[in-house]
Structure 1
Amino acid sequence: MQEITTAEIQESDYLLYIYTPFCGTCHVARTMLEKIEDVHKETIFYEMNASLQPDFMQQYQVESVPCLLIKKGDRVLEKVYAFQSIGNIYSYLYKHCPELFTEKK
């Protein structure tokens, strides 16, 4: 994962993992996302420390952390708060990012 920049926040499509450093559940969620990236051998998720971005948190009405915010175009398609399992996260990726599962040439 890589920390999202102010310029990248303005982009239209991204998967953003929002966390706080002292949140135990956030550390478990991070591990799940890192395993997904390891399988795909690429950076898929951006990350953001919620404590450092209060305006973003308010603008996008992020209710709690951890949160996986899925944005396409000018719309937030999902805000996932219950990570549950790697399989659960994959269900959201299949739904919103099918390009991750096509063969690359």
Structure 2
Amino acid sequence: METRVPQVRSNPDDIELVREVSLRQVSDWLLSFIGDGPHPLVDRIRDLEAFKEHFSPILSRMQEGDTMWLARSQRRGALYGHEGIALVRNGRPTEYMRVLNH
């Protein structure tokens, strides 16, 4: 199975912050979308070390004092929009990684 490397955008201006989260809360958030049944993907999401590895493109940019937030596109529709993780520094999102597309 091929794994795509998620892309991180710097200084996103088209997202809104939803709530501050921990890595465990991001894992729980993803599980709420895909369910909690037996599946290799579910196992990787539950395993925080594997989860950190997958999200390393954004986590590696985290600096002291940064916080992690769930974020979403400002514009959303029936089949339009996205949700993801943002790093926030001094009250502003500095990095964004799209996780789900609608």
TM-score, normalised relative to structure 2: 0.28
More helix by share: 1
Q: Which has the higher strand share?
A: 2
